[in-house]
Amino acid sequence: MGYEILTFLSLTTIALSGVLIVSGLIFIKTGRKEYHKKAMLSASFFALLFLVFYGLKYFLYPPKHYEGPYKDLYLFVLISHSILAAVNLPLAAVTVFLGLTGRYSKHRRIAPITAAVWIYVAVTGWIIFAFLQMGELG
């Protein structure tokens, strides 16, 4: 698969996942539990699709490094993004599991953390992409 198409697919799937998480939060805050469930399961599906496209891209076209003027900021965003992306996977799995098995009081306790981490990872993913577009590629 070509570089452009993989870039497009990873950016759209992670963006969709982020939009669905925010929608899912709005649904639960307004009491629409069934929509909440559907939105969160779809968000998880798109996040997994993202991992497939991103993984493919990573192996087929190893990423270049940002060499622009904001290198410290870039590294901070990149490192925090990578750590939280790794944390997000088990966190999301546990949150979905607790929701699907009806353990709602535990679900309510962990879910806000999952949502915050997830949104941070999605937004910083786009920021890293923007950095790589703007900075000189080394």
The verdict on 72 binding ligand HEM (CB under 6 A) reads: no
Alpha carbons 83 and 48: distance in angstroms, whole number? 17
Among 77, 114, 124, 131, binds ligand HEM (CB under 6 A): 114
Alpha carbons 59 and 44: distance in angstroms, whole number? 23
The verdict on 37 binding ligand HEM (CB under 6 A) reads: yes
Q: What values do phi and psi take at 137, rounded to 5?
A: -90, 120
Give the shortest CB-20-to-ligand HEM separation in angstroms: 9
Give the shortest CB-23-to-ligand HEM separation in angstroms: 11
Compare residues 9 and 99 and give the one whose CB is closer to ligand HEM: 99
- For 74-98, give the secondary structure using H, E and C: HHHHHHHHHHHHHHHHHHHHHHHHH
Q: How many residues bind ligand HEM (CB under 6 A)?
A: 21
Compare residues 7 and 23 and give the one whose CB is closer to ligand HEM: 23
Q: Are 138 and 67 in contact (CB under 8 A)?
A: yes
